[in-house]
Chain A
Amino acid sequence: MRRIPTIVFIALALAVAVGLATAVSPFASPDPDGLAKVAGEKGFLDSGELHAIQDDSPIPGYAFPGIDDERVATGVAGFVGTLGIFAIGVGIAWGLRRTRGTPAGTASA
């Protein structure tokens, strides 16, 4: 069995991720998650607060600003967020990657 090339694999996986975040996330459960639910039941939900930095969050609460339709706003946030995280992840990995011939840590060939 021939294997799909790496670049095709990456493209497919990214397409699945972007597709899920864009088209499925708007229909995800709106209920509070485990911790939020417990916080509500046990009476400490109100102690949660946003950090001052988060007042200026670009996409607060996974809703892309300026879009009235909640589901569209969530889908666009998922699309932008997934591609953004991919770009940041690749960028960081590129910066940290093994570079041949560096003086540090060249113990093994």
Chain B
Amino acid sequence: MHIPDGFLDGSVAAVTAVPAVAAVGYGVRRAGKTLDDRKVPLLGVTAAFIFAVQMLNFPVAGGTSGHLLGGALAAILLGPWLACIVMAVVISGQAFVFADGGVTALGANIFNMGVVGALGIGLAMIAARYLLPRSRTAFLSVAAVGAWASVMLGALLCSVELGISGTVPFATVLPAMLGVHALIGVGEAIITVAAVAAVLATRPDLIDGAGFGPLDEPRTMPAAGVAS
């Protein structure tokens, strides 16, 4: 869903960059309080994993492919605000090193593919914390639905931006975007759940939970195995 330059009107690109910069900027501020030394390599490896899996386009119907966005996954692993930083790193790298996604459209891409999914899953997890049982099944269910919804929300916003830009009528682009991304979102949900389940199985204590609360069993075990 990387928007190249030329798709968006200059003012639409500029206005869309505002919430992207605000969210990433707030993430940077929060990092000064919440990003401890242990999370430093976690942030790096989350960015690397999302970059890598974004390269794995999977086929969906009719000669179309889709790939992971990763905003929801990053938010579940690191929390919504650090996820905004991760997504900004990945999407900026894609634009400047790989010529994937526009430079003037960078803010829009970070917003559509990163910030919206990250903050959206954060809200969903906070709601789930009060409404759903504290179980891994409930957690992974919210992860799945939230991941799918993050893709649909990104597709909706992308359509709005294209429509306001006058690139294509909103009523024309919206059903097409939502139709294809309803399928791509299933891939997003599968990959997100698989990745989260893998971390849950190995190091559940490393999962932020994006507001769902800690999933780690309250075992008082000294962290003896932490290597230098």
Contacts and interface: CB of A to CB of B under 8 A. Distances in A.
B5 A49 contact: yes
Given A7-B227, A83-B48, A93-B40, A59 B98 contact: yes
Contacts of B14: none
A84 to B, nearest CB: 7
Interface string A80-97: 011111111111111011
A12 B38 CA distance: 16
Interface in B70-127: 85-86, 89-90, 93, 95-100, 102-104
Interface residues of A, dominant DSSP:
helix
Nearest to A24: B56
B31 A9 contact: no
Interface string A38-82: 110111100111110110011111100000000000100110011
Nearest to A21: B52
A32 B65 contact: yes
B10 interface: no
A98 B1 contact: no
B168 A42 contact: yes
Interface in B128-178: 155, 158, 162, 167-168, 172-173, 176-177
Contacts of B40: 90, 93-94, 97
A41 B99 contact: no
Nearest to A53: B103
A31 B86 CA distance: 27
B96 A57 contact: yes
Contacts of A101: none
Contacts of B33: 98, 105
B180 to A, nearest CB: 4
Contact of A17 (B43, B52, B181): B52
A104 B29 CA distance: 10
Looking at A18, A49, A62, A89, the one whose CB has the most chain B CB atoms below 10 A away is A89
B5 A59 contact: no
B154 to A, nearest CB: 10
B56 A98 contact: no
B112 to A, nearest CB: 10
A96 B118 CA distance: 19
A62 B41 contact: no
18 contacts: A3-B205, A4-B202, A5-B225, A5-B227, A14-B45, A17-B52, A28-B58, A29-B57, A37-B63, A42-B176, A48-B5, A50-B5, A54-B99, A57-B98, A85-B93, A89-B43, A92-B89, A97-B39
A-B interface, 8 closest residue pairs, ranked by CB to CB distance from nearest: A90-B44, A89-B44, A89-B47, A21-B52, A48-B4, A86-B48, A29-B65, A51-B103
Interface of B: 1-7, 28, 31-49, 51-53, 55-60, 62-67, 85-86, 89-90, 93, 95-100, 102-104, 155, 158, 162, 167-168, 172-173, 176-177, 180-181, 184, 202-203, 205-206, 225-228
